[in-house]
Amino acid sequence: MNSSAAALHLRHGGTSVVIDTTPEFPAIVYWGESLGQASTAEVESLARAARNQRVSGYLDRGVTLSLLPQASTGWFGTPGLEGSRAGRSFAPAVVTSGIDANETSATIRGTDAAAGLAVTVTLDLDAAGILRTTVALTNTASDDYELAALRATLPVPVSAREVMDTTGRHLRERHPQRYPFTIGRHERDSRRGRPGADAPLLVLAGTPGFGFESGLVHGIHLAWSGNFQLAAERTGNGLALLQAGELLLPGEVRLAPGESYRTPVVIGAWGEGLNALSASLHDSVRSRPQHPRSPRPVTLNTWEAMYFDLDTERLRTLADAAAAVGVERFVLDDGWFLGRRDDTAGLGDWYVDPAVFPEGLGPIIRHVTGLGMEFGLWVEPEMINPDSELARAHPDWILQPEGRLPIEGRGQHVLDLSHPDAYAYLSERLHALLDENDIAYLKWDHNRDLVDPGSTVTGAAAVHANVEALYRLLDGLKEAHPGLEIESCASGGARVDLGIADRTDRFWTSDCIDPIERLGIQKYTSLLVPYEMLGAHISGPESHSTGRTSRLALRGATALFGHLGIEWNVTTASPDDLAQLTRWVEFHKAHRELLHSGHAVYADLPDDSVDLRGVVAGERDRALYVFTQVGSSNAYPGDAITLPGLDDDTVYEVSLSDVTERDGFNGQSPLPWLDAPLRMSGRALRRAGLRPPVLFPESAVVLLVTAVG
C-alpha cells in the first residue's frame, strides 16, 4: 500500500525497523529488538527524537544518514551512489517519489529528474528477524550513465564501538580481527573476482568486547560471489553505519537509456551476542525453499586418498572400504578427464580420459551405487589450462585485457563465461556428463583469483557478467537435473557467500583438514552458514597441509559439527582405526538431525587453550557439546567450563558420550562425575558450569545433554 506516514515501523521475527520518511530521502532511525505494538505517535516521536540539529561550522541544516546518503543532503561520508555521464551528473540529488509499505517490508522510490536517475530501495524483514536490503538504479535519461558504486547503507546504534571481521589465506580462512570503531572508515574490499580466502563473511559492529554470549552486535553480509565492498564508518556527527555493495571495476556497468542495475542482497542481522546473531542467520538460511532438507550423506572424497593416481580397481577397493565404515556418498576428485595427469594440463577438456577409464565412468559408478552410495564428481568448469585442447582452439575464450594474457595462477587461466560460445560449450559438456552418467553430486571448484578480467567480446571488465553467467549455469543444471547437489569449493573456502548458497548445497570449508586449524575456520564460517552446509572431513593421521599428527578421536570430534566426510585412504587404516572411524560415523548419523537443525553455540571461556562449542535443539530439550584441549593450560587441572544456549529453568542430565576415547585423558584419578551423569539446571550449567576431564593437549571429548525436567 502507498504510505504517506511521517514514520514507518516494520516488525517481524523479533526485529523492528523504524524509518523516518520526512527527509529528502528516508532514513532508518532504529534497527534492533522489537518495539512491540508501538503506536503511530510513538513511532513518529522516535523518528523526531533521532533528528540532528544544525550546529556551528557545518551546513545550514542537520545531517541525516539516509538509506541513500548523498552530498546534496549535507552528507560528507561515503555516498550511496557514485557515477556520471562522462563527468556530468556526478552529484545526484535523489528525492522520494513514492513509498509502498506493509508491516514487514517497504519499497521506497526516488528520482533525480535533472540527473535522469531513478532509485528504488527495498527493505524486507523475514520471520527470523533478518533485514534484507537491495538498491536499484535506473537510467531515465537519453544517454549512457556509467555507474561507479551503488551501496546499501544501514545505521548501527551509538553503543557500537568495536568492529570485528575475519581475514585469512588459503588453508587458514576466516580468522577474527578487531578494531576500535573510531571516527573514519574501516573498509574491506575484494578485487579477486570471487570473495577470496581473506574475505570477511560479515562485518560486525558492537559493544566493546562483544562475544558469543554477550554484547549487542549488528552485522552485514553481501550475498554475492564476485568483487565486493563491505565497510563500517563513523562520522563526527555522531552517526555510524554499515555499508555494502558490489565493487565495480571501471566501465563495468554502463547503463544505456532505460537500463537498470540492482545491488546484490545485503543481509543485516543483530543479536545479544554472536550466538544469537548467528541463530537468526541460520534460521533465515534454513527457511529458503531450496535449502537441503534430506539427511546430509556422509561423504568420502578421493583427493587425499589417491590424488591423481587413479584407476578403476583401486577406486573399487576404496569404495568397498568406504561403504564398510558407513559412507553414503563417494566423490571422485581431480584427475578423471582428458590429459589430466597433474594440475598443469587438461582443465577445459571435460571428457572422460580413456587412458584412465577405458570403459568410461560407468563401471566405477555402477560399483559405487551398487554398494548403496551416491556417486559424485569433481569439476572446475570456470578454469582452463594453457596446456589443453580447449585453450589451443579458443584462446579468445580466456578472460584477458586487450593484447595480453594475465599472470597465470596454478598454471591456469579463467574462462569468460560471459562469452556466449564459451558458456554454450561448458553448458553442453556439463549437461552431457550428467545425462550420460548417474552422477548425484558435483564438487565445483574455482582454484584461482581473477586478474585483469577483461572480456574479448566487449573489451571491458567482466567480473559482474561472469558471476551472473555462473548463476545462470548453476540454475540451469539444477533445473534440468532434479535432485542434483552441488558443492561450492574454491581453493577450499574462497567462495563462501549466500549468493552461491542459493544455487549450491554444501561448502568445502577449507582445503586444510588439520583438526586444530579447523576449529577456528569452522567456528567463524558457521557464524553465517549452518553446519549442514559446511563440509567437515576426518583426515588421515597426518595432515596433508600442516604435517600435524592427530588422534582419530580429535579428528572425529572436530568434524562432528558439519556435513561429515572422510578425506583419507581408509584402505590403509588399521582394524582398530576402522572400528573407531565406524563408531564416529554411526554417532554422527545418530545425532545428525540435531546437529543439522539446532542452533550452533560457542562459549566465551577465559582460557584460550580450550574450546567449547555445541549445538542446542530449537526446543532446548537436548544438546551436544565438544570440549577440546587445544594446547597446554596455565591451570592444572583446568578451569570449570560453562554450557551456553540451554534453558535456565530446565533440569538437564550431562554425560560423557560413549564415542569419546579415554586415551586422551590426563588426570591422575577418575573424573568425579564420570560414572554417574550430572543433573543440573540450565542456569547452573550456564553460570557455575562443571569441571571437564583433564586432557592431553590436542584432545577432545563429547558431552551429551538431555532435559529431564
Which residues are known catalytic residues? 445, 511
Closest CA to 292 of 534, 613, 499, 584: 534
Distance CA 396, CA 411 (A): 18
Identify the three-state secondary structure at position 321. Answer: helix
Distance CA 279, CA 567 (A): 29
Distance CA 430, CA 351 (A): 10
The count of other CB atoms within 10 Å of the CB of residue 673 is 14
One-letter amino acid at 632 equals S
End-to-end CA distance of the chain: 48
Closest CA to 13 of 268, 232, 214: 268
**Cell 589430466 maps to which residue?**
340
Q: Which three cell numbers stand for residue 39?
A: 503506536
Identify the three-state secondary structure at position 481. Answer: coil
One-letter amino acid at 67 equals L
687-698 b/e (C-beta count within 10 Å ≥ 16 → b): eebbebbbbeeb
606: phi then psi, degrees, rounded to nearest 5: -70, -20
Residue 576's alpha-carbon distances to 570, 573, 579, 583, in angstroms, are: 12, 8, 5, 11
Contact (CB, 8 A) for 80 and 70? yes
Rg (CA), the chain: 27
Cα 552 → chain centroid: 28
Identify the three-state secondary structure at position 234. Answer: strand
Q: Is 549 exposed, middle or buried (0-12, 13-18, 19+ CB in 10 A)?
A: exposed
Closest CA to 18 of 54, 67, 53: 67
Distance CA 536, CA 585 (A): 12
Most distant CA atoms of the chain, gap in Å: 83
Closest CA to 166 of 630, 642, 394, 496: 496
User: Is the previous residue joined to 637 through a cis bond, with omega within 30 degrees of 0?
Assistant: yes
The count of other CB atoms within 10 Å of the CB of residue 478 is 17
Distance CA 65, CA 6 (A): 16
> Quick one: the chain helix, strand, coil %, rounded to 5?
20, 30, 45
DSSP label of 528: T
Contact (CB, 8 A) for 685 and 646? yes
Distance CA 384, CA 308 (A): 18
Q: Which residues pair with 95 in a beta bridge?
A: 111
Helices (H), 32-173: 40-49
Q: Which residues pair with 507 in a beta bridge?
A: 488, 534
Q: Which residues pair with 383 in a beta bridge?
A: 414
> Nearest 10 degrees: CA dihedral of 320, 323, 328, 332?
-20
Closest CA to 157 of 70, 230, 218: 218
Phi-psi region of 553 (alpha: psi -120 to 50; beta: other; left: phi over 0): alpha
Contact (CB, 8 A) for 400 and 321? no
Q: Which three cell numbers stand for residue 530?
A: 549452518
